[in-house]
């Protein structure tokens, strides 16, 4: 079984890396999953909401519950 916290941290780090280098326009499920070394299926079920939550974590925003 995968460590959920470790996977979450990898996703957050991947989003931070893309956001830093390419801005919001560079964010994409395939790119984030590849950089995090995980399967995009972990992101896809709630893709837009998931990316917003991860991005909010990176930016420190409280826009999502």
pLDDT tens string 29-64: 899 899 999 888 877 765 666 667 776 777 665 444
Does residue 14 register a pLDDT over 70? yes
Q: State the number of CA atoms in the 13 A half-sphere of 21 facing the CB.
A: 11
Most confident of 2-6, 8-12, 32-36, 57-61: 32-36
* Residues 43, 36, 46: CA angle, nearest 5 degrees: 10
The domain that holds 49 is classified in CATH as: 1.10.10.60
Q: Is the entire prediction scored with pTM above 0.75?
A: no
The rounded distance, in Å, linking the Cα atoms of 33 and 64 is 21
Measure Cα distances from 31 to 43, 61, 64 in Å. 11, 22, 22
pLDDT of residue 64: 44
pLDDT of residue 51: 65
> 58: closest CA among 26, 29, 6, 18?
18
Range of the domain at 54: 4-59
Per the structure, the count of domains in the chain is 1
**For 3-10, what is the mean pLDDT?**
83
Within a domain: 26: yes
């Amino acid at each position: 079984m995968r460590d959920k916290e470790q996977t979450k941290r990898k996703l957050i780090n991947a989003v931070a890396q893309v956001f830093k280098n390419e801005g919001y326009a560079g964010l994409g499920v395939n790119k984030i999953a590849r950089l995090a070394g995980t399967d995009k299926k972990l992101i896809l079920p709630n893709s837009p909401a998931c990316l917003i939550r991860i991005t909010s974590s990176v930016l420190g925003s409280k826009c999502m519950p």
